[in-house]
Structure 1
Amino acid sequence: MKLVIMTKSTFFVEEDKILTTLFDEGMDKLHLYKPGSQLVFSERLLSLIPEGYHDKIVVHEHYRLKNEYDLAGIHLNKLSEMVPNGIRGKISRTCEDLNLLKEMKKNSNYVFLRRIFGCMGNADKQSSFSVKELEDAAYKGLIDKRVYALGGITLDNVRMAKELGFGGVVVCSDLWNRFDIHHGADFRDLLALFRNYQKLVG
């Protein structure tokens, strides 16, 4: 099972140090997700991460960065969104509808299926699917090693994602909630959590 880390949606001071350390620890795939941000901030972050790790980074938006920094690929959020001219490399997409999974997989190396697990205390981020619906999708071959679970991923539900047939999990909030971006400098708790995820997916 693959472990994908998605960046926090906003930039912060210690970010390049934490991401570089995660790569040092064996992070295999990072999704650079900074919705609505200016290109220059993503460029700066990439310039602070050692070049040897750039081929493990997939970029959302600002697709020109893929070629400029020799990144692994780009991520598209809609089925209708076309791959920009001149872009080579891995293509991934986000899907929210089980009925679209088959079509999306045809045009992607892998697909994020959103809202798999709900987020405690957040009514806007509840699961979109019942366990039965996900089991049926796996039985039909819709969920397979090229479909990654996104949304509400924690250590407690990685095993369930694996049992449902997902090929990977996308971790975001659970990881970044372990670090105070305004006052923090010590990210040992975040690293410890990352290592626990590595063990689980291994």
Structure 2
Amino acid sequence: MELIVISSPTPVSSEAENINRLFEAGLGVFHLRKPNSDLESMHQLISHIDPKYHDQIAIHQHHDLAAEFGLKRLHFTETERNKTQISELLKIKDRGMKISTSIHDISALNELSHFDYTFFSPVFDSISKEGYKSSVSADFVVEKPKNSPKVIALGGIHLGNIDLVKSMNFDGAAVLGSIWNKEESERIYILKKLLRKSSKQ
């Protein structure tokens, strides 16, 4: 099962160094989501992440930065997805890019065959968003239609419940609060434990 880390939406002290350490510890994919950051701030942050990790970074905003930094992953919010023609998404994929999106209703999988994967949230009560409550029952199991993209669980995932994500038939898990709400000294320890749990059969 794949593990993805999503950035804090707000600036973090020594953020690029923290991101580099996550990659060094074995992280495969990092989603850079900064909804309130301007182009220059995003440019500055990416420029301080080791270039050898750039093709493992998905960006949610300022997609034009992908070409400059050799990024191979673009994320489309639900709003952006609804404004983007399928033909345009297919052109992006033809350039060797991986594309992802987000849903909050599992029935939307029927419309996402051209995406590589999608986040589905909130699976558990959010750690980073107060009042953002689970939308699924404890016995929920993902039933993917034919040609469905991979489905990545998001929302409230931590060491105590990541095993449940597997039993729900998700292809992976994405974490945010369980990494960034910790002290800097704890983040790599938490990540390594999450990676071990997600890789177990």
Instruction: Give the TM-score normalised by structure 1.
Output: 0.86
SS at match of 2:43: helix
Matched, 1:93 2:97: no
Is the Cα–Cα contact under 8 Å of residues 6 and 30 in structure 1 kept in the other structure?
Answer: yes
**Runs of at least 5 residues in structure 2 that lack an aligned partner in the other structure:** none
CA distance in 1, matches of 2:180, 2:156: 13
Number of aligned residue pairs: give it. Answer: 190
Is the Cα–Cα contact under 8 Å of residues 4 and 175 in structure 2 kept in the other structure?
Answer: yes
Aligned twin of 1:149:
153
Aligned twin of 1:159:
163
Matched, 1:114 2:121: yes
CA distance in 1, matches of 2:8, 2:130: 20
* 1:145 Cα deviation from its structure 2 partner: 7.6
Aligned twin of 2:30:
30
- Aligned CA distance change for structure 1 residues 130 and 57 (closer, same or farther; 3 Å): same
- Aligned CA distance change for structure 1 residues 52 and 120 (closer, same or farther; 3 Å): closer
CA distance in 1, matches of 2:103, 2:128: 24
Aligned twin of 1:9:
9
Aligned twin of 1:170:
174
SS at match of 1:80: helix
Q: 1:125-178: CA deviations, max 9, x gaps?
A: 10112234x32xx2x335988100011111111100011110110000111011
The 5-angstrom pairing of residues 43-82 of structure 1 reads 43-78=43-78, 79-82=81-84
SS at match of 1:11: coil
2:188 to 174, 191, 200: 191
* 4+ runs deviating over 6 angstroms: none
Aligned twin of 1:182:
none
Q: 1:67-94: CA deviations, max 9, x gaps?
A: 1111121111114131668743010000
Instruction: Give the TM-score normalised by structure 2.
Output: 0.87
CA distance in 2, matches of 1:122, 1:26: 26
- Aligned CA distance change for structure 1 residues 9 and 122 (closer, same or farther; 3 Å): closer
SS at match of 1:124: coil
CA distance in 2, matches of 1:66, 1:91: 12
What is the aligned-residue RMSD (CA, Å)?
2.2
* 1:23 Cα deviation from its structure 2 partner: 0.9
